[in-house]
Amino acid sequence: MTLQRQVLIVEDEPDIAQFISAALENNGYVSRIVGTGVDCLRICSGKLPDIVILDLGLPDMDGQEIIRAIRAWSKVPIIVLSARDQEEQKVLALERGADDYLTKPFGMKEFLARVRVVLRHVNRRETLQEAAYCSRDLIVDLARRKVSVGGNETRLTPTEYNLLAVLVAKAGQIVTHAELLREVWGRGSEEHSHYLRIYIQRLRQKLGDDPLYPRHIFTEPGIGYRISAEDET
Ligand code: CA
């Protein structure tokens, strides 16, 4: 038996939401519709769906902010729905970590094809990373936003946690100074590299990491930082 994929549809236009939902249900997916960003984040902070279909124009929140919020702690695939004249919005959504976009109006076949492709791309990486990051004695529980070192919980401030979460989301890869500043402090913060130095130092202290002999957070001089890749299981 194959597990049915859970799809969260975030769309305030009932006709489009119903159209997508029907297409998905007819093809073996389980879908759930919400009409606001607040409901989307509430659901995603509990049990994550397998994929999020996100309309950028919601009544209560900017879709771009929703992508940013989700990407601070999850790699759940996101397909963005946008209007035809929103080229800049599409680019921004992809920069923020959306996996793909569809321009309204779109056909059912095209929609299902995009969903399949995105799910196939993430198949490999979805094994452990949704729930927790584990490397040596460091465990980051992404669902509960809890961090432990050697079995002892480490209390982080929200900013320290967000910084760690951005590094963990790209474990094993370099994350640039600009990207870290942008993800944690918001757009326009790219010049404030002193924030980053201070917070990386604090994070290292709390994780018991020695910058001269790092085990967790590695400095890539002039480029950024990298957190060690996850343990192979
Ligand atoms: Ca809308």
Q: What is the pLDDT of residue 232?
A: 54
The alpha carbon of 61 and the centre of ligand 1 are apart by a number of angstroms equal to: 11
Q: Do residues 55 and 148 both lie within one domain?
A: no
Q: What is the pLDDT of residue 40?
A: 96
pLDDT-flagged residues of the chain (< 50): 1, 124, 127-129, 233
Q: What is the pLDDT of residue 75?
A: 86
> Of 107, 108, 51, 59, which is closest to residue 80 (Cα–Cα)?
51
Q: What is the pLDDT of residue 103?
A: 87
Spatial distance between the Cα atoms of 79 and 212, rounded to a whole number of angstroms = 41
Q: What is the pLDDT of residue 1?
A: 41
The alpha carbon of 99 and the centre of ligand 1 are apart by a number of angstroms equal to: 19
Q: Do residues 50 and 109 both lie within one domain?
A: yes
> Of 61, 56, 64, 54, which is closest to residue 34 (Cα–Cα)?
54
The alpha carbon of 106 and the centre of ligand 1 are apart by a number of angstroms equal to: 14
Q: Do residues 170 and 222 both lie within one domain?
A: yes
Indicate the residue type of 159: T
Q: Do residues 147 and 206 both lie within one domain?
A: yes
Q: Do residues 122 and 148 both lie within one domain?
A: no
Spatial distance between the Cα atoms of 180 and 167, rounded to a whole number of angstroms = 8
Q: Do residues 103 and 147 both lie within one domain?
A: no
The alpha carbon of 42 and the centre of ligand 1 are apart by a number of angstroms equal to: 19
Q: What is the pLDDT of residue 89?
A: 86
Residue-number span of the structural domain to which 183 is assigned = 133-227
Q: Do residues 81 and 153 both lie within one domain?
A: no
Q: Do residues 194 and 140 both lie within one domain?
A: yes
- For residue 27, being part of any structural domain is answered with yes
Q: Do residues 31 and 117 both lie within one domain?
A: yes
Round the CA-based radius of gyration of the chain to a whole number and report it. Answer: 19
Q: Do residues 15 and 71 both lie within one domain?
A: yes
The alpha carbon of 151 and the centre of ligand 1 are apart by a number of angstroms equal to: 45
- Is the Cβ–Cβ distance between 216 and 120 less than 8 Å? no
Q: Do residues 107 and 35 both lie within one domain?
A: yes
CATH number of the CATH domain containing 29? 3.40.50.2300
Q: Is the overall model pTM greater than 0.75, yes or no? A: no
The alpha carbon of 57 and the centre of ligand 1 are apart by a number of angstroms equal to: 4
Q: Do residues 18 and 120 both lie within one domain?
A: yes
CATH number of the CATH domain containing 162? 1.10.10.10
